[in-house]
Homo-oligomer: A and B are copies of this chain.
Amino acid sequence: MRSVSVIGIGETKMGRFPDKSLRDLIQEAGEKAILDAGIERGDIKALYMSNFNAQFLCGQGHIGPLACEALGLGNIPALRVEGACASGSLAFRQALIAVASGLYDVVLVGGVEKMTHRSTEVVTEGIASAADIALEAGLGATFPSLFAMIANRYFHEYGNVRDEMALCAVQNHDNALLNPDAQLHKKITLEQVKNGVRIADPLTVFDCSLVSDGAAFLVLAATDLARAVSRKRVVEVIGCGQAGDTLTLASKRSLTTFDATLHAAAKAYAMAGINPADVGFAEVHDCFTITQLINIEDLGFFQKGKGALAIAQGKTAAKGSIPINLSGGLKAKGHPIGATGLSQIFEVVTQLRGDAGGRQAGNAEIGLTHNIGGTAATCVVNIFRGR
């Protein structure tokens, strides 16, 4: 399999856009990515789209040809990939495999979600389709309650780290202040997080990620070609691992270690030939604050049970030893579900190009993205190197 690089990136601002349709969001982010790559439309040989639940939230499926038509890409193959909140990374991985195999030289990957036009009840029902309807969501166990159980179990096993968990939200909000695409530009305090409206104990509204509209697109190319055609610093995909776990929380081996992350990360690190210590910064899946804490342990950045201390010590903050979610994460940048995994990669590529402005993470050479679906029933870990 040959090397693949990201040669173009584009995303919309994340937020509430009642006047923008799915098509509008697709066109805005897609055109940006194509322009950024400096390629011709005709160079694109396939389109991999990610969307979580526009069928329920917008009445629109078949997003592949919708996007293909919106972007004027002709008769190329297009499809949609779905794996709950990991949909974007799954679409990326399918595109990666296709280019790496030699099937296509240049492909476009895009993700889109439109959520804010629906009521909280409808959005909650739509998101709940990522859990097991028969055994979980249909019984009332929607995601805040599932992750609250995970948090309580974590407290039981490793001690009450309520403050450190809350710090994840504080740090992500701080980071988002410097990201122009972020949905929220609003500094918050530890006390605000802890005293926020309680959603599912111990999680308050400040422990939860956002409901967002948005889109993100990437252009991938065989690295040999990328170096020839791209006007930008080429960012190579050096590792990619995908793994799964049971859909139901009750069937998992552990609630505080996500096996899907362990397996996906092990594959990605092995492919890249690196260790966790070689990673300069990472975008990790912070659907809830507890998730971010568990992830930085499962990814091997810190020992299990030691993540909270690291957070308290500022190691994951913007100027720490391994900055986490410099974009602001799902918590403050926003979480347009189908776009999220690709927006994570947008951030990593921006950083590795040295284009992140005020939120630039020094000159790290290696960045990682971690994206899960459901209660980590799906996980994709990607590793990138800027040269």
Chain A interface (Cβ within 8 Å of chain B)? 1, 21, 23, 47, 52-56, 58-66, 68-69, 75-84, 90, 94, 97-98, 100-103, 125-126, 128-134, 137-138, 242-248, 251, 259-260, 263, 373-374, 377-378
Q: 24 A-B residue contacts at CB 8 Å?
A: A1-B103, A54-B129, A55-B55, A59-B138, A60-B129, A60-B132, A61-B130, A62-B373, A62-B377, A64-B377, A65-B83, A65-B377, A66-B132, A66-B247, A69-B247, A78-B244, A79-B81, A79-B242, A80-B81, A80-B83, A81-B81, A82-B82, A100-B101, A101-B102
Chain B residues near A263 (CB, 8 Å)?
75
Are A65 and B374 closer than 8 Å at their CB atoms?
A: yes
Apart from A75-B263, A81-B82, list 10 A-B contacts with CB within 8 A: A1-B103, A65-B244, A65-B373, A65-B374, A69-B248, A75-B260, A76-B244, A79-B242, A80-B83, A101-B101
Q: Which 10 A-B pairs have the closest CB atoms?
A: A101-B101, A65-B377, A61-B129, A77-B242, A65-B247, A62-B84, A69-B246, A80-B82, A62-B130, A60-B133
Are B138 and A65 closer than 8 Å at their CB atoms?
A: no
A77, A129, A248 interface centre (most CB from chain B within 10 Å): A77
- The smallest C-beta distance from A254 to any residue of chain B, in angstroms, reads 13
Are B134 and A21 closer than 8 Å at their CB atoms?
A: yes
Chain B residues near A131 (CB, 8 Å)?
62
Are A75 and B374 closer than 8 Å at their CB atoms?
A: no
- Indicate whether A83 sits within 8 Å of B64 (C-beta atoms), given known contacts A55-B55, A259-B75: yes
Majority SS of interface residues in chain A?
mixed
Copies in the complex: 2
**CB contact between A1 and one of B66, B81, B83, B102 (< 8 Å): that residue:** B102
Q: Closest residue to A137 on the B side, CB-wise? A: B59
CA distance A79 to B93 in the complex (A): 11
Are B374 and A62 closer than 8 Å at their CB atoms?
A: yes
Chain B residues near A248 (CB, 8 Å)?
69
Chain B residues near A243 (CB, 8 Å)?
75-77
Chain B residues near A251 (CB, 8 Å)?
69
Q: Closest residue to A74 on the B side, CB-wise? A: B244
Chain B residues near A1 (CB, 8 Å)?
101-103
CA distance A244 to B46 in the complex (A): 10
Q: Closest residue to A374 on the B side, CB-wise? A: B62
Are B247 and A62 closer than 8 Å at their CB atoms?
A: yes
**CB contact between A134 and one of B23, B64, B82, B138 (< 8 Å): that residue:** B23
